[in-house]
């Protein structure tokens, strides 16, 4: 099973950033600024891709309602965004961010931009969708058009009544070039929202300097387990989380049902496809996983909680 145990994902999803934390808070840890001892292990359990499909929504809504996860982020351009809007109105305490998207990665299930296509031509592939690959965006997208599209996604969510608690980057595309990083950082400042950057990214981190120093989360973690039997999912996560020292962490999961909708959408993606998402869903709702987190003394927090560390 060792070959199925997770790797950390420094370029994958990122970590929370607050632009004013470092200077005003000195050496106090995020845990201490939130009223916890420095020895605490705080954990955000975060589900990506809300709004992608009804199957994703059903699983994620249930996980949020039953506190199996603490946070999620929304793919605004996707077909099932309207269902998320309704959920958010009925659940004002749900911790929902914006999963900024400049990619549409499923070969048989595509989406385009929120902006008028004539205004963001450099973001489109030959079929008129957002590109499949991150590298295509980095090579061709004009930063001003990227910024226009991302602002449109945030504005659409807010005009629909959603009050985002944070912002992150779908497929980490916005972390993959200095020009896109600058756009990303400007959005955080413009909207007053916490962003994703990684404090402990090591040599693979795309971030450095003040952005990395001000991060509110030490590491973002996800499971990289191609081919792992679903029965081994709990043990893999336990081995991943057990050795973590005191700090603040975000665990990324991808939730959905292994149903016809998800199998059709993700038919050629063994990773992050229908079976993968069902296994993650089964994990977060399992008594074994919840008991494990309690015995390991993890304290579950939301991004809304972490954002308070900017002013404490």
Q: 64 with 97: CB under 8 angstroms?
A: no
Q: What is the pLDDT of residues 134-187, one digit of tens each?
A: 999 999 999 999 999 999 999 999 999 999 999 999 999 999 999 999 999 899
Beta bridge partner(s), residue 78: none
* C-alpha distances in Å from residue 136, one per residue of 42, 126, 185, 206, 279: 36, 11, 21, 18, 30
Q: Using alpha carbons, select from 276, 267, 231, 225 the residue that is nearest to residue 47.
A: 276
Q: What is the pLDDT of residues 42-63, one digit of tens each?
A: 999 999 999 999 999 999 999 9
Q: Using alpha carbons, select from 236, 289, 283 the residue that is nearest to residue 256.
A: 283
* C-alpha distances in Å from residue 53, one per residue of 189, 260, 261, 265: 30, 11, 8, 9
Q: How confident is the model at residue 209 (pLDDT cuts 50, 70, 90)?
A: low
Q: 231 with 49: CB under 8 angstroms?
A: no
pLDDT(73) > 90? yes
Beta bridge partner(s), residue 229: none
Instruction: Check residue 28 and give its pLDDT.
Output: 86
Rg (CA), the chain: 18
* C-alpha distances in Å from residue 231, one per residue of 122, 181, 237, 260: 44, 39, 12, 22
Q: 176 with 182: CB under 8 angstroms?
A: no
Q: Output the pTM of the full model.
A: 0.89
Q: 131 with 125: CB under 8 angstroms?
A: yes
Averaged pLDDT, 6-15: 37
Average pLDDT score over the chain: 88
Beta bridge partner(s), residue 8: 221
Phi/psi for 224 (5° steps) reads: -110, 95
Q: What is the pLDDT of residues 129-146, one digit of tens each?
A: 999 999 999 999 999 999
How does DSSP assign 172-193, residue by residue?
Answer: GGGGSSHHHHHHHHHHHHHHT-
Q: 261 with 53: CB under 8 angstroms?
A: yes
Rounded to 5°, angle at Cα 83 from 82 and 88: 95
**Cα 218 to Cα 198: distance, rounded to the nearest angstrom:** 7
Domains defined along the chain, listed by start: 2-310 (3.20.20.370)
Sign of the C-alpha dihedral computed for residues 198, 2, 72 and 291 taken in this order: negative
Q: 6 with 209: CB under 8 angstroms?
A: no
């Amino acid at each position: 099973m060792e070959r199925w145990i997770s790797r950390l994902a420094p370029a994958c999803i990122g970590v929370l950033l607050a632009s004013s934390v470092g200077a005003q808070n000195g050496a106090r840890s995020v845990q201490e600024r939130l009223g916890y001892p420095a020895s605490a292990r705080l954990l955000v359990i975060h589900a990506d891709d809300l709004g992608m499909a009804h199957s994703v929504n059903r699983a994620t809504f249930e996980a949020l309602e039953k506190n199996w996860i603490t946070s999620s982020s929304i793919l605004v351009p996707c077909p099932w965004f309207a269902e998320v809007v309704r959920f958010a109105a009925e659940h004002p305490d749900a911790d929902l961010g914006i999963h900024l998207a400049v990619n549409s990665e499923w070969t048989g299930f595509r989406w385009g931009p929120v902006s008028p296509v004539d205004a963001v031509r450099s973001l489109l592939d030959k079929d008129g969708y957002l590109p499949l690959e991150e590298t295509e965006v980095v090579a061709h997208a004009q930063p001003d058009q990227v910024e226009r599209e991302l602002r449109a996604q945030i504005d659409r969510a807010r005009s629909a009544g959603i009050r985002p608690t944070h912002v992150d980057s779908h497929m980490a595309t916005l972390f993959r070039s200095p020009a896109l990083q600058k756009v990303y950082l400007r959005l955080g400042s413009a909207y007053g929202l916490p962003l994703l950057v990684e404090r402990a990214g090591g040599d693979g981190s795309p971030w450095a300097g003040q952005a990395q120093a001000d991060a509110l989360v030490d590491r973002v973690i996800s499971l990289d387990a191609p081919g792992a039997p679903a029965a081994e999912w709990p043990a893999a996560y336990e081995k991943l989380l057990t050795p973590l020292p005191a700090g603040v962490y975000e665990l990324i999961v991808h939730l959905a049902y292994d149903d016809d909708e998800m199998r059709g959408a993700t038919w050629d993606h063994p990773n992050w496809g229908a079976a993968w998402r069902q296994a993650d869903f089964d994990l977060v709702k399992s008594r074994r996983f919840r008991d494990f987190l309690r015995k390991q003394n993890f304290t579950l927090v939301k991004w809304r909680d972490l954002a308070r560390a900017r002013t404490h």
